[in-house]
Amino acid sequence: MCGRYTVSGPEDILRELLDYEECPSAATRYNVAPSQFAPVVVVHEEQRRSVVEMRWGLIPNWAEEPTIGQRLINARAETVGEKKAFRDSLRCRRCVVAADGFYEWRKVPGGKQAYFSRLKSGTPFGFAGLWDRWCGLQGQTLETFTILTTVANELLEPIHSRMPVILGKEQREAWLSPGTDVHRLSALCESYPAVHMETFPVSDYVNDPAHDSPRCMQAVPLASWSTLF
C-alpha cells in the first residue's frame, strides 16, 4: 500500500511532470497523509496538463457520503478495472500524483518500523492515480484521488508486500493519454525496478501526520535496521 509520501521538492517535481519551464507553485510536503490535499497532474480535453490540489482518498461521484474516501486511498492495480468505485475513473479520469518519495512500515517485534523509499538518482516521479469529482446534497464539491499499488519489488518486499505504482516519463505520457487502451494501462502498473531505488529507516516522528518537516525523512543509524536483509 501507500499511506504516506513526500513532495519535498515541489518545483522540481512539477517541472518534471509538466515538462514546462514555468510551473505553478505548490507547498513543500514531507509527510502527506490521507484526507489531506496534495497536487496531482490531470489532462484537460484540449490535451493540456495542469496541476490541481485534490484530497487524498477517492470519493466516487455516486457515493452518498464522503466518508467512503477514507477507505479508498489506494487501488490495487490488478483489480482496479473490476471495482465499481474505480472503473469509470480508470477509463477517463486518470492522473499522476506528484511525489519524490514515500513511507512504508515494517512489522517488527513490539511494533512497526518506518522506512523511506525514493529513486537513487533523486529524480522526482509520479504515482499512477485516479480521480473523481463528488457533489454533495448541500452543494459542496470535492475532487479526490487514489494511488494505485502493485506487488512490491525485491528491495521493498521485506518491508511490505505492496508498493505504489511509480511512473517514469514515458509511462506518464501513456497513463495520461486518453487513447491508451486497458491492456497498455495494465502493463504500466508493473513494479518499479529495485535496482533504481533505495530505502532506509526513519524515526517514528513520521508516524504522526501532524508532523511535516525534513525530520520525517531523516535516516536513523544503520545499527537499528541492519537485520532487515
The pairing of strands 125-135 and 166-167 is: antiparallel
Task: Look up 21 and say whether it is catalytic.
Answer: no
Beta strands (DSSP E) in the chain are 4-7, 29-32, 37-43, 49-56, 74-76, 94-99, 101-108, 111-119, 125-135, 141-151, 162-164, 166-167, 197-201
Contacts of 173 (CB under 8 A, 6+ apart): none
16 three-class SS: helix
Residues 16, 95, 104, 143: which is the catalytic one? 104
Residues 2, 95, 189, 216: which is the catalytic one? 2
DSSP state of 202: B
CA 201 – CA 225 distance, rounded (Å): 7
Task: Look up 95 and say whether it is catalytic.
Answer: no
Q: Which residues are catalytic?
A: 2, 104
